Amino acid sequence: MRVLAALSGGVDSSVAAAELVAAGHEVVAVTMRLWGGPSDRGCCSVSDVEDARRVAAQLGLEHHVFDFAEQFDAHVVEPYVQAHATGRTPNPCVECNRHLKFDALLERADVLGFDAVATGHHARIVEHEGRRHVARGSDAAKDQSYVLHPLVAPATERVLFPIGGLTKAEVRERATRLGLRTARKPDSQDTCFITASGGRAAFLGPRTGLHPGEVVDVDGAPVGRVDAVELVTIGQRRGLELAGGGGRRYVVDVDVPARRVVVGPSEQLRRGSVALERVVWNGPVPTGAVDVQTSAHGTPAAAIVTGADPVAGTAEVRWERSRPRVAPGQSVVVYRGDVVLGGGVAASGPEPGPSAAADADPALLGDLEEPSGP
């Protein structure tokens, strides 16, 4: 099989390419140039491109660099900026996978006559009810199936994850055995276009403006101020510097136009459901109990899917036990066991309060869980 292997310059994609070569495939390596601005972490630095080139040479592979910077800016960077400007909490890695690492790369593979595209993601492709689905990788600590949920058939028919059945330790051991220069390279962390030195504030400030705002409790009483309402997210507890005593308080709402952040105790975050938009399903809308995950490495929770409209791309997830509110803009991914069935994005708009969620179905209320900050 003729395979276009995405080589990012990290150890995972390096070993993925090596596995393809060992399996006898005809492999050509490609590095996607996505972000042209400053980068001191992530997978978009100049040094990563050079590492990818050298690994390709070690493996005897033809290597190319595809410039997708314009698409990356349009589909990942600009939506990231606009999300913060409107009080949403974006997930740029999901959008990068959705638009660049698969849509754009698969289109290029079609033009060039490749049978499949391969990446170094820690995930698997499995058969489920007659379709190929993304599924959790073997290494639970490194599993990336959550950020791959937009990948559905027919694209899953042409995608390979060669290291999905390996642990990270096994990946590094194979890289060491092969003498690959990336064997001990640290993993990429965080958003590639946000520098560690400047953070979100330095990136967003010149692009959208950052505005100070007041912090009030659920009764409207002032309890503090924040330097930038655009940088506050639902569920946040740290960095608020609130006045007054009492127990822990969390962000329960963010109103960017009003420059206001509302905080309250953890029970004020409890919700019985979450409305979704931009939903994609790999097959029929699931019925019955499913597992739903609301962060990349969060604990799945039992739920059911209701009110799904595949044409409009909307649905609602109703929790078996009430859960902390999902920040608008965050991905909500539906599983059955290890298999990804689909997912969407937590919608903006009016949210039912905790009492409304409880009144809708008392069985949804469970023991309170402490939400985590960003």
Contact 251, 269 (CB under 8 A): no
Which value, in Å, is the radius of gyration of the alpha carbons in the chain?
Answer: 22
Instruction: Measure the CA–CA gap between 201 and 228, rounded to whole angstroms.
Output: 8
First to last CA, the chain: 43
Q: At what angle do helices 168-178 and 11-22 cross, to 10 degrees?
A: 70
Give the phi and the psi of residue 363 in degrees, each rounded to 5: -65, -15
283: exposed, middle or buried (Cβ count in 10 Å: 0-12, 13-18, 19+): middle
Contact 343, 334 (CB under 8 A): yes
Q: Which of 274, 288, 295 is nearest to 337 (CA)?
A: 288
Active site annotation includes 43: no
Q: Which of 117, 24, 115, 25 is nearest to 66 (CA)?
A: 117
Specify the pairing of strand 339-346 against strand 290-293.
unpaired
Hey, which residues does 291 pair with through a beta bridge? 302, 335
- Sheet with 26-33: strands ordered across: 63-67, 26-33, 2-6, 116-118, 159-160
Specify the pairing of strand 63-67 against strand 116-118.
unpaired
Active site annotation includes 96: yes
Classified as helix, coil or strand, 198 is: coil
Q: One of 43, 44, 93, 96 is an active-site residue; which one?
A: 96
What one-character DSSP code corresponds to residue 263?
E
Q: One of 43, 44, 93, 192 is an active-site residue; which one?
A: 192
Catalytic residues: 96, 192
